[in-house]
Structure 1
Amino acid sequence: MLLRASPAFSLLANNGVDAQSLSSPNSLSNSLTSSSSFLRIPSAKNPNGGFSVSAALPESNSRPLTGVIFEPFEEVKKELSMVPTVPQVSLARQKYTDECEAAINEQINVEYNVSYVYHAMFAYFDRDNVALKGLAKFFKESSEEEREHAEKLMEYQNKRGGKVKLQSILMPLSEFDNEEKGDALHAMELALSLEKLTNEKLLNLHQVAEKSNDVQLQEFVEGEFLNEQVEAIKKISEYVAQLRRVGKGHGVWHFDQVLLQEGDAAAA
């Protein structure tokens, strides 16, 4: 918004400072010190329009501020001319590149694919002949969390004026038993790999935002995803280390019970 003021000399004169006193630095200093109202002083770069304001005594607050003209639409003329009139074009979109829009849609697809795999793991461990309820609950919650991430990205895409384009989701595995490692360790190692892949994709998204100089998107990725992703990698890494210790027998059942109790305690 542009702000234009009357010449500084006339404003100073209106507030009790003689314009002729500006010819002497000492006189100007004395005038400024003795003045009890706010003062406007010419700027060196803009002697006709620049001014600064100092504190005023209460009795001077009633004096009107004269010589100021507001032109609220002067600086938005360019933006007004760029407001789209076609119904299919977003009105909210601003400095949001096609590269960022495409990267967001790619990350949405990543989150949905990971959610789909976790849901398949939930179904496997929930079988009556597997019956590891702690692992089933853990992977079900993990699936829901990844789906929430996808929805959060979709909401952000709409907020920035982009278009959500959902892509195909690959069919996940339905069997997770492994002759050497067992099903629990094999599934948890796969989960760790998926979390690291998701983190790598998020870092790529952040890099695209950085190249596009999209500070807001960088902040969104950092604040909503990256820290949580690092914590998830640490937690699942610990689960993998524990399952490697307990083997494939009774230790897996004990691990599952502890995991189930931890989930119940967190819910409470």
Structure 2
Amino acid sequence: MVAQLHEYTKKQRGCPALPAALFDHGGEPRGSYRGPRGFAFTLAFTPATLPVPSAMLPAPPSQVRQSYHPDCEAAINSHFNLEFHASSVCLAAAVYLYRYDVALKHFSWFFVRRSLEHSGWARRLMRLQNQRGSRIRFQDIGRPVSIEWKSGLKAMKCTLFLEKFVNRSLRHLHQLAIDKSDPHLHRFLATHYSSQQVAFISELEGHVTTLSMMGAPDVDLAGSLFEKLTLGDSDKKN
């Protein structure tokens, strides 16, 4: 059974919490996340309408489908929609940070690249669904609730919060592939996906720590120096 994702509307100091759970085998939510202080941020799409496998609309059987558990199929569908949402949040942050009255160009390109990575992974997962003979199910993504982050540090904290949520969904997919004896799915995730997600979270945590130690966001110069010396060098390499 694939549990429905729940979207919490109760605000924590101006920050709506993300959904409390992804899926688990008993169909009940477990665990919770709380957003960083001062962010008006929530998951914009509402995947609560995602039916469990037994309630899916009838579809003609695929001739290429073989040994693909319905729970794995539904979980992949939900995760690529989450990737699209993460892409839209990163793109919104990039647009805000590029504004003339914010003028953090290197921060902006940092989030543009991450937005493209998220949408790229969503496309790869959809391609995987086609290869396995699955039926792709799109959900309403919606616009990001927050479109202003006030500083590069706050945008990174917000993104770190979201990336950990994406990583939790990914860990669930890994475990589901093991539990349902799907070596192809497990190998795909382990080889092409997990290490990149963990590496980015580590990089993001390092940036947040460095900015905080420099006094951002209270010290305006700290964010500007970090942008030019750290993110600027990264842009040159890319």
* Counterpart selection for 1:110 from 40, 64, 82: 82
Q: How many residues get paired?
A: 176
Q: Distance in 1 between matches of 2:202 and 2:176?
A: 26
> Is residue 126 of structure 1 aligned with residue 98 of structure 2?
yes
Q: Distance in 2 between matches of 1:219 and 1:228?
A: 14
> Is residue 256 of structure 1 aligned with residue 224 of structure 2?
no
Contact 2:106 2:235 in 1 (8 A): no
Residue of structure 1 in register with 2:126 after alignment: 154
Q: Distance in 1 between matches of 2:88 and 2:230?
A: 21
Contact 1:125 1:131 in 2 (8 A): yes
Q: 1:266 is aligned with what amino acid?
A: K
Q: Distance in 1 between matches of 2:65 and 2:197?
A: 28
* Counterpart selection for 2:178 from 202, 206, 210: 210
Aligned residue runs from structure 1 range 1-268, under 5 A: 88-172=60-144, 173-177=146-150, 183-247=151-215, 248=217, 249-267=220-238
Q: What are the superposed Cα offsets for residues 222-248 of structure 1, whole Å, 9 maximum, x if unpaired?
A: 111111111001100000001102223
Q: What are the superposed Cα offsets for residues 59-97 of structure 1, whole Å, 9 maximum, x if unpaired?
A: xxxxxxxxxxxxxxxxxxxxxxxxxxxx93211111001
Q: Residue 233 of structure 1 aligns to a residue in which SS?
A: helix
More helix by share: 1
The Cα of 1:207 is off from its aligned counterpart by: 1.4
Q: Distance in 1 between matches of 2:237 and 2:161?
A: 25
Larger radius of gyration: 1
Q: Which has the higher contact order (CA 8 A, sep 6+)?
A: 2
Q: Residue 171 of structure 1 aligns to a residue in which SS?
A: coil
Q: Distance in 1 between matches of 2:138 and 2:98?
A: 29
Q: Distance in 2 between matches of 1:206 and 1:264?
A: 32
Q: Distance in 1 between matches of 2:206 and 2:68?
A: 39
Contact 1:133 1:260 in 2 (8 A): no
The Cα of 1:262 is off from its aligned counterpart by: 2.2
Q: Distance in 1 between matches of 2:211 and 2:231?
A: 15
Q: What are the superposed Cα offsets for residues 136-168 of structure 1, whole Å, 9 maximum, x if unpaired?
A: 000011000000000000000000000111111
Q: Which runs of 5+ in 1 are unaligned?
A: 1-86, 178-182
The Cα of 1:261 is off from its aligned counterpart by: 2.4
Q: CA RMSD in A?
A: 1.3
Q: 1:175 is aligned with what amino acid?
A: E
Q: Which runs of 5+ in 2 are unaligned?
A: 1-58
Q: Residue 207 of structure 1 aligns to a residue in which SS?
A: helix
Contact 1:188 1:236 in 2 (8 A): yes
Q: Residue 193 of structure 2 aligns to a residue in which SS?
A: helix
Q: Distance in 2 between matches of 1:259 and 1:144?
A: 21
Q: Residue 170 of structure 1 aligns to a residue in which SS?
A: coil
Residue of structure 1 in register with 2:15 after alignment: none
Residue of structure 1 in register with 2:7 after alignment: none
The Cα of 1:263 is off from its aligned counterpart by: 3.0
The Cα of 1:260 is off from its aligned counterpart by: 4.0
TM-score normalised by the chain length of structure 2: 0.71
Q: 1:228 is aligned with what amino acid?
A: Q
Residue of structure 1 in register with 2:24 after alignment: none
TM-score normalised by the chain length of structure 1: 0.63
Between the aligned residues of both structures, percent identity stands at 35
